[in-house]
Amino acid sequence: AAGVIQSPRHLIKEKRETATLKCYPIPRHDTVYWYQQGPGQDPQFLISFYEKMQSDKGSIPDRFSAQQFSDYHSELNMSSLELGDSALYFCASSQSLGQEETQYFGPGTRLLVL
């Protein structure tokens, strides 16, 4: 079965640079979520999109922005990168099914800021 695809899988950037992470949801899934997971921590919700519109916002820094495109893929844009942005970034997708909804996660993008 098709899964959530994320690219790149690994990314190394310098401080103050920008990074763009991409997420391709499972076909026919209408909702995309972005999470940040620091070492040894639980995932922290950043932002979500439903039918290409932002639906919820979590602890996403103002330096980050995201959008969902007409083909439902999503991009997380990160500017003025800081050392503390080094983390694993997950994208998850789901199909709106009310209480039955389940989020399926991609393999993550590991970002290292030097």
Residues at the contact surface with other proteins, assessed by CB under 8 A: 31, 33, 40-43, 45, 48, 50, 55-56, 58, 90, 92, 94, 96, 98-108
**Terminal CA-CA length for the chain:** 37
Q: Which is nearer to other proteins, 30 or 75 (CB)?
A: 30
Q: How far is the CB of 46 from other proteins (least distance, A)?
A: 11
Q: Which is nearer to other proteins, 19 or 91 (CB)?
A: 91
State whether residue 82 is helix, strand or coil: coil
User: d(Cα 97, Cα 78) in Å, to the nearest integer?
Assistant: 31
Q: How far is the CB of 15 from other proteins (least distance, A)?
A: 25
State whether residue 83 is helix, strand or coil: helix
Q: How far is the CB of 24 from other proteins (least distance, A)?
A: 14
Identify the burial level of 37 via C-beta atoms within 10 angstroms of its C-beta, where 0-12 means exposed, 13-18 middle and 19 or more buried: middle
Q: Which is nearer to other proteins, 52 or 79 (CB)?
A: 52
